[in-house]
Structure 1
Amino acid sequence: MTQFQKGAAALGALQAGGSEGGNLNTIDFAKFSVGSSYKVRVLGTEDLMQYFGYGVYKKVNTFVAKNPSTRNEKGFVVSDHTPWDLAEKYHRDLQFAAKDAGNEKEEKAQSQEAGKYRGKERFAMGFVDLAAGKEIVVDLTRNQALDVYATITKYEKKLGKLAFELTKTNATGQAKDTKVALTPLIDFDEDLNEKERENFAKFDGKEFNAALFDGLLFEADEKTQIENLVAAGFDISLIGLSLGAGSESNEAPAEDSFDF
């Protein structure tokens, strides 16, 4: 698999299944925390990019590997493991050993630790923000992207006539319960103000600018990844690494981490 899958390739990855799975350079993801809401226009069915991001919530900000591991079509690492893949594998091996020993408590604990370091499949999706009159990119988990894409598919033939509301909610405070919804706005006069209607019309006949996906994610070299493992609380000596390993460092980001 290549580092980033865009358009039809990303769509195929979203539909095919697989695993559940930096900082921003010249372009930022649109702010999309719980409670956020955007009125948007959808320009097409392939305005998305798939990637595998690493990070630990509130400890290490989201990044992608500068030299990514090789994954199979289901998204599982098969070779060229990154330091974070090695950390996951370390705990995954302990998980399997605990399972073979019948130790369910240890098996669960090691599974949770392995999950911290797993490269998680995510999707960047493009929309037009009708309030601002510009194209935006939002960052979604696989399941969130599937929910959004189901709505896009349902109204595919009416995308040129419908606006939508894109929302993120969470009823419990648990990351797994974060929901993203794309809801059609049927009545332009009632649901959109004059400026939003003007911005909708401004994009008639236009395609989403796919260049907005380029340079979107922070690509961490090996040295930065090792430093991030230490920051996450992993003992890198367990996988034969030290802080002196790796290539020249890129300065790590200090803005975002996975926002589920």
Structure 2
Amino acid sequence: MAIVKGTDALKPAENSNQGNSSENEDRVLRYLKKDEAIRVRLLGAEEFARVPVYDIYPLTGTIGIPKGTNHFEEGKKILFANADKIKKDLDVEAKRKEMTDVQFKAFKEGEGSEWVAALKEAYRLDQESRFLFGFVDLGTGKPFLLQATEKQAPLIQKTIENMQGQADQFAFSVSKATGGFSIMPDFADPLSQGEEEIVKKTKGLEIPVELFEEAHFSPSEDFQLEVLKQMGHFKEYLATVKTESSSTDGQDSNPEETGNPFDIDDSDLPF
């Protein structure tokens, strides 16, 4: 899944199957904490992108796609093959045809629960999409990104689009919200002289695609294999893998920085 910037990012993706601490200010991708707000310069309505990620809750935060060998993809194949075997053993296709919706729901909760559980486990290793929106911190003048889910992204983008007429006149405040963040113009607190300079210097600023690409760290082989080990299921696969020890292309993922966990329910399953 490639990086897609601007309104094209809102189109369906193809699927293959903080108080301003100095530490936070230096990050390209920031995670807002509860009751935290950042005063920002609003950028253009196209300064966002859809990016592919993994979020293997609760073992990882939101992380990028491996740049080399992708053991998550191999693990996903193993888990889906296991789910397919259980499906065949339970003769799920025949039961789906002969049962009513109510009966099939009862089947999934009873005899077929092992199959459903196997599918959910496989989907944990499926790639997901997150949306990253660009802003400029009015305290530092540095651009940074905030993350939102696929569900919240269209609303956020529409809000930013509708506020373009005020982008050069007011500061805006971004704060944490379910699935992403909220953004509001700060009419009560006018731009300071320093902030006005930042607004002028960043007029028409475009966030380069590279910044979106580098927002999430790319997990090393060792990191991936440790996640698979913690998941279980992969004893035979792990015994056959030989890795070259390498450092991650960024800092370790922090589960506290994931936003809401990705929960798979029946609506996410292919039946």
- Residue 136 of structure 1: how far off its partner (Å): 0.8
| Amino acid paired to 1:163 | A
CA distance in 2, matches of 1:165, 1:96: 50
Q: Residue 256 of structure 1 corresponds to which residue in structure 2?
A: 254
Of residues 89-98 and 192-201 in structure 1, the stretch that sits farther from structure 2 once superposed is 89-98
CA distance in 1, matches of 2:139, 2:84: 50
Q: How does 1:8-19 map to 2 (within 5 A)?
A: 8=6, 11-16=7-12
Q: Residue 29 of structure 1 corresponds to which residue in structure 2?
A: 29
Of residues 106-115 and 143-152 in structure 1, the stretch that sits farther from structure 2 once superposed is 106-115
* Contact 2:134–2:146 (CA under 8 A) maintained in structure 1: yes
| Amino acid paired to 1:234 | G
Q: Residue 53 of structure 1 corresponds to which residue in structure 2?
A: 53
* Contact 2:220–2:247 (CA under 8 A) maintained in structure 1: no
| Amino acid paired to 1:64 | I
Tell me the secondary structure at the aligned position of residue 165 of structure 1.
strand
| Amino acid paired to 2:142 | K
- Residue 211 of structure 1: how far off its partner (Å): 4.2
Of residues 33-42 and 126-135 in structure 1, the stretch that sits farther from structure 2 once superposed is 33-42
- Residue 209 of structure 1: how far off its partner (Å): 4.8
Q: Summarize the Cα distance change of 1:28–1:13 in structure 2 as closer, same or farther, 3 Å threshold.
A: closer
User: Which one has a larger percent strand, Structure 1 or Structure 2?
Assistant: 1
Q: Work out which of the two has the higher radius of gyration on C-alpha atoms and give 1 or 2.
A: 2
> Is the counterpart of residue 93 in structure 1 residue 89 in structure 2?
no
> Is the counterpart of residue 139 in structure 1 residue 135 in structure 2?
no
- Residue 29 of structure 1: how far off its partner (Å): 1.3
CA distance in 2, matches of 1:167, 1:153: 18
Deviation sequence 1:10-62 (CA, Å, 0-9, x none): x313233666xxxxxx9541232343322222222222232221132342242
Q: TM-score, normalised by structure 1?
A: 0.69
Tell me the secondary structure at the aligned position of residue 168 of structure 2.
coil
Q: Residue 183 of structure 1 corresponds to which residue in structure 2?
A: 184
Q: Summarize the Cα distance change of 1:153–1:241 in structure 2 as closer, same or farther, 3 Å threshold.
A: same
Q: Residue 104 of structure 1 corresponds to which residue in structure 2?
A: 108
Q: Summarize the Cα distance change of 1:251–1:183 in structure 2 as closer, same or farther, 3 Å threshold.
A: same
* Contact 1:94–1:110 (CA under 8 A) maintained in structure 2: no
| Amino acid paired to 1:135 | P
Q: Residue 238 of structure 2 corresponds to which residue in structure 1?
A: 242
CA distance in 2, matches of 1:220, 1:58: 16
Q: Summarize the Cα distance change of 1:209–1:63 in structure 2 as closer, same or farther, 3 Å threshold.
A: closer
Q: Summarize the Cα distance change of 1:193–1:124 in structure 2 as closer, same or farther, 3 Å threshold.
A: same
* Contact 1:91–1:113 (CA under 8 A) maintained in structure 2: no
Q: How does 1:99-248 map to 2 (within 5 A)?
A: 100=93, 101=95, 102=104, 103-105=107-109, 106=113, 108-170=116-178, 178-185=179-186, 187=187, 190-192=188-190, 194=192, 195-222=194-221, 224-231=223-230, 233-237=231-235, 241-245=237-241, 247-248=243-244
Q: TM-score, normalised by structure 2?
A: 0.67
Q: Summarize the Cα distance change of 1:49–1:87 in structure 2 as closer, same or farther, 3 Å threshold.
A: farther
* Contact 1:128–1:135 (CA under 8 A) maintained in structure 2: yes
Runs of 4+ in 1 over 6 A off after TM superposition: none
CA distance in 2, matches of 1:211, 1:81: 24
Tell me the secondary structure at the aligned position of residue 64 of structure 2.
strand
**What percent of counterpart residues are identical?**
21
Q: Residue 73 of structure 1 corresponds to which residue in structure 2?
A: none
- Residue 214 of structure 1: how far off its partner (Å): 4.4
CA-atom RMSD in angstroms: 3.4
* Contact 2:75–2:234 (CA under 8 A) maintained in structure 1: no
Of residues 115-124 and 99-108 in structure 1, the stretch that sits farther from structure 2 once superposed is 99-108
* Contact 1:47–1:210 (CA under 8 A) maintained in structure 2: no
Tell me the secondary structure at the aligned position of residue 65 of structure 2.
strand
Report how many residues are paired: 227
Q: Summarize the Cα distance change of 1:38–1:82 in structure 2 as closer, same or farther, 3 Å threshold.
A: same
| Amino acid paired to 2:130 | R
